[in-house]
């Protein structure tokens, strides 16, 4: 019997969160069905509170903890979709609030008797010391494909990944591929990381009457099926340009027999480029861009597919592969990252960097009914390994383990970018140590040229305000905070914060507080531990 808070604040309407949202909703449904005895408190935001209403019921209640912000919106509108998605995921790290307004947040969970905080969207925004925290890491793409991210986004991801490492009692990775990456890049303790595979979606596979389907397909502009299908947003790692190149080769080789290509997903700029390409390639009639689809329509589009083609360069898991397998659709997919692990022997693999190899795979599966049948049968068998009960049992197991061991925190400081700038919140975690004489020394500086006046700083530990202070521009000061022997966290809130880009100070649109010069953990009889050495 535990009360589990689920941080859903980063969940956006529509398809912006990609597979992460699908997984999260699936988990909630499964928790409702399978998690006997546990109760769930869904932490929502104004933009998703209503969407989550259907989950309300015995054992599951909603609590709105965040409202739409005025300041952030303008910035988010200017970012490309993918960046916005991640920044929104981080909204809580970046948001602007006064220390007074922030302080009660540190008692949000403990005052309600929450035993465990579960963060399916990774960032442990609602962390409270003493409450077990379990975070899910879906991918480490910013380490393997940094070129697909603006530098700022990499900085932000590094900051919150470090935060996860420092605070999470357990980290759930959605594949062995991700787990290896987490251990390698984050140097996370392997014993605190676990692999729990995603599960088959219960959202698909409805019976749709034929006339209804035909009418709806016509509405979508699809008049011929089956077709090959690729459901993915137009993010660079999804490799759509290579897919079109391969499709062009395939089409050219089989001008009359080739099946069409259906794409879902959205991202304006890239979609424009792809549509232009399709025009130039003379395959406008054969390639269908359906945009983001509601679930029922998506289900239907799946049913009209001959097979899945999945040329992604990077996946943490690859949910569409599972969807295809469960629906008995043959899978053609990349032989990289998590995909071989997920698809096993039930797919025809290709190198996603070789268009001719990809085209040959299309040719084979489209032209060889026996092969398609074999892949379909193997897929159905394999799908069985990814039943929802397995996934829920995996998650609940990790929750139990996290609840059964006292929280252990890294000695670490988070909320500081690599160049020493803090966001509006700095969090210092520390492990157990001697009861007497321990302290944290943190040196903060307010550069003389920052916009705005004095900075206010509030420090909170375990829901208790330690001190409030002010720092004038041009001033540098060491703040020294005594701590007990127990593991815990000190949070510092800084206000006001600013975005250099909005103040005419260059392209940097991070929200910044102060410069963190040093941060040390000092204990009697041992060397000081430097948590931050400055940029």
Distance CA 416, CA 505 (A): 19
- Our finding on whether 353 is near another protein (CB under 8 A) is yes
Task: Scan residues 15-74 and list those touching another protein (CB under 8 A).
Answer: none
User: How many residues does the structure list for the chain?
Assistant: 535
Q: Are strands 60-66 and 116-119 parallel, antiparallel or unpaired?
A: unpaired
CB of 370 to another protein, least distance (A): 28
Smallest separation (angstroms) from another protein to the CB of 253: 8
Q: What angle do CA 104, 486, 468 make, to 5 degrees?
A: 40
Tokens linked to 327: 């629906």
- Residue 88: C-alpha distances to residues 2, 53, 196, 356, 518 (Å): 29, 21, 25, 38, 29
Q: Is 354 in the site for another protein (CB under 8 A)?
A: yes
Q: By C-beta, is 212 or 418 nearer to another protein?
A: 418
Q: How far is the CB of 257 from another protein (least distance, A)?
A: 16
Residue 507 within binding range of another protein, rule CB under 8 A? yes
Nearest approach, Cβ of 78 to another protein (angstroms)? 13
Smallest distance from the beta carbon of 77 to another protein, in angstroms? 18
Q: Binding string, 307-346, against another protein, x = CB under 8 A?
A: ----------------------------------------
Single residue of 224, 252, 454, 464 touching another protein by CB under 8 A: 252
Residue 367 dihedral angles phi and psi, to the nearest 5°: -100, -5
Distance (Å, rounded) from C-alpha 477 to C-alpha 443?
Answer: 6
Residues 86-125 that bind another protein (CB under 8 A): none
Asked if residues 489 and 428 have their Cβ atoms less than 8 Å apart, the reply is yes
Among residues 241, 439, 468, 473, which is the contact residue for another protein, using CB under 8 A?
Answer: 241
Torsion of CA 334, 340, 344, 349, to 10 degrees: 30
Binder to another protein among 356, 381, 419, 436 (CB under 8 A)? 356
Round the CA-based radius of gyration of the chain to a whole number and report it.
25
Q: Is 145 in the site for another protein (CB under 8 A)?
A: yes
- Nearest distance from residue 242's CB to another protein, in Å? 7
Cis before 126 (ω within 30):
no
248 lies in the binding site for another protein (CB under 8 A): yes
351 is a site residue for another protein (CB under 8 A): yes
Indicate the residue among 282 and 406 with the shorter CB distance to another protein. Answer: 282
The answer to the question of residue 242 lying near another protein (CB under 8 A) is yes
Count of CB atoms within 10 A of residue 38's CB? 18
CA distance 21 to 241: 25
Binds another protein by CB under 8 A, chosen from 316, 355, 463, 513: 355
Q: Shortest approach of another protein to residue 149 CB, angstroms? A: 13
Region of 11-19, 219-227, 240-248, 454-462 interacting with another protein (CB under 8 A): 240-248
When the beta carbons of 273 and 505 are compared against another protein, the nearer one is 273
Q: Is 211 left (phi over 0), alpha (psi -120 to 50) or beta?
A: alpha
Contact between 281 and another protein by CB under 8 A: the answer reads yes
> What does residue 80 show for φ and ψ, rounded to 5 degrees?
-65, 160
CA atoms 336, 337, 339, 340: torsion sign: positive
Of 13, 54, 190, 282, the one binding another protein (CB under 8 A) is: 282
- Interface residue with another protein among 245, 427, 429, 495 (CB under 8 A) is 245
Min separation Cβ 449 and another protein, Å: 21
Q: Which is nearer to another protein, 152 or 194 (CB)?
A: 152
Q: How far apart are CA 410 and CA 180, in angstroms?
A: 20
Region of 23-31, 88-96, 277-285, 457-465 interacting with another protein (CB under 8 A): 277-285
Q: Classify the C-alpha dihedral 373-378-379-384 as positive or negative.
A: positive
Residues forming a β-bridge with 230: 263
State which residue, 47 or 145, has the beta carbon closest to another protein: 145
Exposure on the CB side of residue 146, measured as CA atoms within 13 A: 8
Q: How far, in whole angstroms, is CA 187 from its chain's centroid? A: 19
Least distance between another protein and beta carbon 258 (Å): 12
Select from 277, 371, 403, 486 the one that contacts another protein (CB under 8 A): 277
For residue 282, the minimal CB distance to another protein (Å) is 6
The one segment of 205-213, 239-247, 296-304, 452-460 that binds another protein by CB under 8 A: 239-247
Q: Angle 511-514-519 (CA atoms, 0-180°, nearest 5)? A: 120
Cβ contact 50:42 at 8 Å: no
147 is an interface residue for another protein by CB under 8 A = yes
Interacting span for another protein (CB under 8 A) from 155-163, 209-217, 242-250, 518-526: 242-250
Q: Which residues of 304-331 are buried (b: 16+ CB within 10 A; e: fewer)?
A: bbbbbbbbbbbbbbbbbbbbbbbbebbb
Number of residues this chain uses to bind another protein (CB under 8 A) = 22
Residues within the interface to another protein (CB under 8 A): 145, 147, 236, 241-242, 245, 248-249, 252, 273, 276-277, 280-283, 351, 353-356, 507
């Amino acid at each position: 019997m535990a009360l589990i808070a689920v941080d859903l604040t980063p969940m956006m309407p529509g398809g912006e969160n990609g597979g992460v949202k699908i997984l999260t909703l699936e988990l909630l449904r499964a928790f409702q069905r399978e998690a006997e005895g546990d109760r769930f408190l869904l932490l929502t935001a104004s933009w998703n509170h209503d969407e989550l209403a259907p989950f309300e019921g015995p054992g599951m209640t909603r609590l709105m903890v965040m409202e739409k912000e005025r300041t952030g919106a303008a910035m988010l509108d200017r970012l490309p979709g993918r960046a916005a998605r991640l920044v929104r995921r981080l909204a809580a790290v970046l948001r602007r609030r006064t220390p007074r307004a922030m302080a009660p947040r540190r008692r949000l969970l403990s005052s309600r008797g929450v035993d465990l905080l579960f963060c399916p969207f990774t960032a442990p925004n609602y962390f409270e010391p003493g409450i077990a925290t379990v975070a899910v890491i879906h991918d480490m793409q910013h380490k393997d494909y940094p070129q697909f991210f603006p530098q700022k986004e990499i900085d932000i991801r590094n900051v919150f990944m470090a935060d996860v490492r420092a605070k999470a009692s357990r980290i759930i990775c959605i594949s062995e591929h991700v787990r290896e990456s987490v251990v390698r890049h984050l140097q996370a303790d392997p014993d605190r990381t676990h692999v729990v595979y995603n599960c088959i979606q219960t959202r698909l596979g409805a019976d749709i009457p034929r006339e209804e389907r035909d009418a709806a397909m016509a509405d979508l502009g699809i008049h011929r099926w089956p077709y090959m299908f690729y459901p993915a947003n137009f993010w660079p790692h999804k490799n759509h340009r290579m897919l079109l190149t391969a499709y062009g080769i395939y089409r050219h080789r089989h001008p009359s027999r080739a099946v069409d290509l259906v794409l879902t997903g959205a991202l304006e700029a890239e979609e424009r480029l792809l549509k232009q390409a399709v025009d130039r390639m003379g395959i406008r009639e054969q390639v269908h861009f359906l945009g983001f689809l509601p679930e029922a329509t998506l289900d239907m589009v799946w049913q009209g597919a001959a097979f899945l083609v999945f040329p992604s360069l990077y996946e943490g898991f690859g949910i569409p592969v599972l969807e295809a397998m469960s629906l008995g659709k043959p899978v053609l997919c990349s032989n990289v990252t998590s995909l071989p692990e997920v698809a096993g022997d039930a797919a025809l693999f290709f190198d996603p960097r070789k268009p001719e190899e990809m085209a040959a795979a299309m040719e084979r599966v489209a032209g060889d009914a026996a092969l398609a049948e074999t892949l379909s049968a193997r897929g159905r068998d394999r799908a069985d390994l990814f039943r929802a009960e397995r996934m829920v049992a995996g998650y609940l197991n990790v929750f139990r383990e996290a609840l059964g061991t006292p929280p252990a925190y890294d000695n670490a400081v988070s909320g500081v970018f690599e160049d020493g700038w803090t966001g509006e919140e700095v969090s210092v975690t520390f492990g157990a140590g001697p009861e007497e004489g321990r302290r944290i020394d943190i040196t903060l500086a307010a550069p003389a040229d920052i916009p705005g006046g004095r900075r206010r700083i509030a420090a909170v530990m375990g829901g208790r305000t330690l001190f409030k202070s002010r720092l004038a521009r041009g001033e540098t000061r060491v703040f020294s905070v005594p701590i007990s022997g127990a593991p815990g966290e000190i949070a510092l809130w800084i206000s006001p914060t600013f975005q250099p880009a909005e103040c005419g100070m260059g392209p940097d649109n991070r929200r910044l507080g102060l410069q963190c010069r040093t941060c040390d953990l000092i204990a009697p009889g041992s060397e000081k531990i430097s948590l931050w050495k400055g940029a």
